[in-house]
Chains A and B, each alone.
Chain A
């Protein structure tokens, strides 16, 4: 077993090419848990700690596009400019673990693990994020919905690295909410992210922990577009929010496990959708 500490992105990609079966280590907050449970066996590790290019984010104000490096930790999304650009991402970041976990855990790691309970993922789905990946010989940009293939499965090839995530800024409202059976530091039992796009007069809602992947509720979104004008600034009728919640709930595909039951998850995710819509329309 060897540990590689590349200094640049190119170096990292090269190592990924030449060290067979190497595993990527970012913040280690998923990786080390698996090591403790002995799920990995002993492999060579490429640690991204020194690759500064991956820890930066940039805002192209002309194109209205923000690119967030794969190794940007949650702590950087919680407050400041990035939080203002993507409040839903900030809200999701604030629910992740504890301050220690948020200082270490990264967006790339959340995508690498690709758990349906990953808190950043519903937000990336609702924001139509694009995942930029690279190897020594090619780069690809994959819509997040195609990137996530299943529970803890993604589209990444063995020699590919997640480099960054590109998100278009949205004029409107966005939010995230997550149910867990503890008031902090808890894995989501059901979560939802809602984006209200005032320019295109449309909405996007994505759900976490209620299906094998993050679930976009296209039908509920379309229904909402038919019954509500986001730009009207009129108070939302409670019955619309309630029906939206019910429709979202119908599109969820939860299961029973030791964290909760399908019945509760289906119910909870509907309540979250309703409340997010009420919050968003009240702005």
Chain B
């Protein structure tokens, strides 16, 4: 893609406008939420359980509170409001009081004059535990083999899908069992917040890195027992999120400490604490059986999917629904029987992460598609083309796919991308598997090619009305936008002004701070903000434009319907009038607020039937990998991809999402895993939780498929999640092709390849 070709004089929609925060971020001058500071501020810190499962016999804070510089120590009984919180079920204690259910669960928090004083105070808190054997096997939680570890029981959700003829079968039957490890979002900007109590102690202000200001406010208010309007949240600089900032982490703790001490509280996690302070991607085990005709047409899918939700519910229920409703992949299938379980265990809680349940399903269905191809004597491309979903097809939930569904085109255009050149006789050592370790021996390197194609729902599902609000003000040719949309790095701060420029013909657009003084924007997740907040900004700008046109029309005594924006002017489409927007709005103020709601969705019934999703996006990935078959080391050489984006409102931004998503999917494929032994996390650091480096990142060749979606306010689909979903199975398939190994688990470990 030639990006320079799409730069124009004005940064309107469709151009690769540059991020306003790009320069400061590269130069290190951007203020992340960990950089904020207040006079007279104290530091907050959290005491966490070292055990995955234990009864708290006693907590003695008397020594801690005596330490000079320690202002307060809080435990469960100090929580003034609701003792628990959670995004869907409020089942997670602000502080554990009787039982700790995972390693790292908060037990107490301190406020002190210095982080080092905090550390000493935490060390001085005496907690006596009666340690229990942790329950770490989700199957035991499902079967009831172990007693409930939480009053709400061990089954977080069960959902079945029954569709069509359950007795249907075909001449070709392939099955497999697949396993996905626990991935961490590993955003680089660690959790941080500054809580500033009101002078009267009746409320507070918080600057925090989060994905959803209003949801945080709601949960903080409940736990503090305060009305929501007593709490004001402002977005701090966010260094990535990927789902890990959807749940509360330090928000309630910091607020509580601020109200108790009457002083500003700064809290920030270290990398190690971050691994315990936020939810992870669900590990899953998925069994699938496909029945197909001899020519490879899928007849029926049977599946059993088990997601390990860890100790608390978080968004497990919604993740599970995404899993079961996406197990068919982007392929037609008339008959299905699927059982999905989200189980509670004493493992770390799992919740939202980019791809949200679909990543797990996709690894299973794509592994199956390759098995099916083999059984039918078809190529991986052909089997996928034959079964590809089209607009209008019904999913196994009975929901028709009303979104534009260019699955076939995604596959064909990916296939048309040239393969990388063969390995040269003397390749550079850094380009080989093993990289800088110089382990490679060319004779043992085999190249493999693999495919992955996926379907991903956009926005929230199951009757959720996750609307977005935006306000637009036009004054003297300058637009000011206001919304509470969390900018976590996805680029809404770039896009929103592009929208205003296109709709209103202005050049200068000011984006006000994101905070709770305006209505909710919903979460920056589910690939939804371009669609939802983009729709809200577009709506607000259009309302302002109507008012502007009415004003101009009245002045010139013409019908406002004749007016149109042309570049930075208003023109009369039936006459000669041409007036600059800046002049037309001189001395005037037009202000409008707009809420964008997506169309309503339905709950699933007990057979998993219902129009539960709003819309869908599709993508294809082809991976080329070199494998050192003797050492089991992998180098991903190239990822080719064609993604259904609806409309590329900012091609550079889209490419950023594609390249980043591919790196994250590659991480899950070959290295990223939170390792646990009996509920104990073994690698809570970047020394041992390995993220891809520049040397691991492949060449990415991307094609954007632009078929504007009529349902989408700007024709654009969400592009955040799809890039990371089918790239993982594509890499696994390429390793399979190179080695002949079954590869039923990701991340693929060297020993899975060579032992």
Question: Which residues between 226 and 283 of chain A lie within 8 Å of chain B, taking CB atoms?
Answer: 258-261, 263-264, 267-268, 271-272, 275, 278
Give every chain A residue within 8 A of B687 (Cβ-Cβ): 33, 187
Chain B residues with CB below 8 A from A176, complex form: 438
Q: For the complex, give the distance between the alpha carbons of A8 and B755 in Å.
A: 53
Does A158 interact with chain B (Cβ within 8 Å)? no
Answer yes or no: B671 CB below 8 A from chain A CBs.
yes
Pick out which of these stretches binds chain A: B259-267, B417-425, B688-696: B688-696
Contact with B695, one of A36, A94, A184, A259 (Cβ below 8 angstroms):
A184
Verify A185–B693 contact, CB threshold 8 A: yes
Decide yes or no: A177 and B439 within 8 Å by CB, A267-B754, A268-B750 being known contacts.
yes
Q: CB within 8 Å of B: which of A148-177?
A: 175-177
* B741 contacts partner chain A, Cβ-Cβ < 8 Å: no
Specify which of A180, A184, A271 is in contact with B630 (CB 8 Å cutoff).
Answer: A271
Interface core residue of B270, B694, B750 (most chain A CB under 10 Å): B750
Chain B, range 394-442, C-beta contacts under 8 Å to A: 430, 433-439, 441
Q: Is A181 an interface residue (CB 8 A)?
A: yes
Contacts of B694 in A (CB 8 A): 184
CA gap between A187 and B689 in the complex, in Å: 11
Q: How far is the CB of B34 from chain A (nearest CB, A)?
A: 15
Q: How far is the CA of A204 from the CA of B670 in the complex (A)?
A: 34
Q: Tell me, rounded to whole Å, the shortest Cβ–Cβ distance linking B752 to chain A.
A: 10
Q: Are A95 and B436 in contact (CB under 8 A)?
A: yes
Q: Can you name the residue of chain B whose Cβ is closest to the Cβ of A192?
A: B439
Residue A83 is within 8 A (CB to CB) of chain B in the complex: no
Q: What B residues does A185 contact at CB under 8 A?
A: 436, 693
Residues B631 and A180 in contact, CB atoms below 8 Å apart = no
Q: Which residues of B contact A91 (CB under 8 A)?
A: 438
Which of B434, B671, B683, B694 has the most chain A CB atoms closer than 10 A to its own CB? Answer: B434
Determine if A258 and B683 form an interchain contact, defined as CB atoms under 8 angstroms apart: yes
**Is A258 a contact of B696 with CB atoms below 8 Å?**
no
* Complex interface: chain B residues within 8 A of A191 (CB): 437
Known: A183-B695, A268-B631. A275 touches B671 (CB 8 A): no
| Cross-chain contact A184 with B436 (CB below 8 angstroms) | yes
State whether the Cβ of B272 lies closer than 8 Å to any Cβ in chain A: yes
Q: B545: CB under 8 A from chain A?
A: no
Q: Is the CB of B696 within 8 A of A183?
A: yes
Q: Please determine whether B439 and A37 come into contact, CB atoms closer than 8 angstroms.
A: no
A100 CB, min distance to chain B CBs, angstroms:
13
A33 to B675, CA, bound (A): 21
Number of B interface residues at 8 Å Cβ cutoff, please give it: 36
| A94, A178, A268, A278, most chain B CB atoms within 10 A | A268
B341 to chain A, nearest CB (A): 28
B618-650 interface code vs A (CB 8 A; 1 in, 0 out): 000000000000111101000000000000000
Count chain A residues whose beta carbon lies closer than 8 angstroms to a beta carbon of B.
Answer: 35
Residues of B within 8 A of A271 (CB): 439, 630-631
Chain A nearest CB: distance from B209 CB in Å?
21
Judge if B542 is at the interface, Cβ distance under 8 Å. no
Tell me whether B693 and A183 are in contact (CB under 8 A). Answer: yes
Q: Which of A37, A189, A260, A267 neighbours the largest number of chain B CB atoms within 10 Å of its CB? A: A267
Q: Are A180 and B688 touching (Cβ within 8 A)?
A: no
Is A65 interfacial (CB 8 A cutoff)? no
Smallest beta-carbon distance A252→chain B, Å: 15
Known: A38-B119, A179-B633, A182-B692. A264 touches B755 (CB 8 A): yes
Taking A36-B270, A184-B693, A267-B755 as contacts, is the C-beta distance between A179 and B439 under 8 angstroms?
yes
Asked whether B695 lies within 8 Å of A95 as measured between CB atoms, the reply is no
B749 within 8 A of A: yes
Which residues B666-694 have CB closer than 8 A to chain A? 670-671, 675, 677, 682-683, 687-688, 690, 692-694
State whether A187 and B633 are in contact (beta carbons under 8 Å apart), knowing that A178-B438, A267-B755 are contacts in the complex. Answer: no
Binding site for B on A (CB under 8 A): 33, 36-38, 91, 94-95, 175-189, 191, 258-261, 263-264, 267-268, 271-272, 275, 278
B contact set with A: CB distance below 8 Å:
119, 270, 272, 430, 433-439, 441, 630-633, 635, 670-671, 675, 677, 682-683, 687-688, 690, 692-696, 749-751, 754-755
New A-B pairs, 9, CB < 8 Å, besides A91-B438, A184-B695, A263-B755 = A36-B270, A37-B272, A181-B690, A184-B694, A184-B696, A187-B687, A258-B675, A259-B688, A271-B631
A sample of 9 inter-chain contacts (CB < 8 A) reads A95-B436, A177-B438, A178-B438, A179-B437, A179-B439, A184-B694, A264-B632, A264-B751, A264-B755
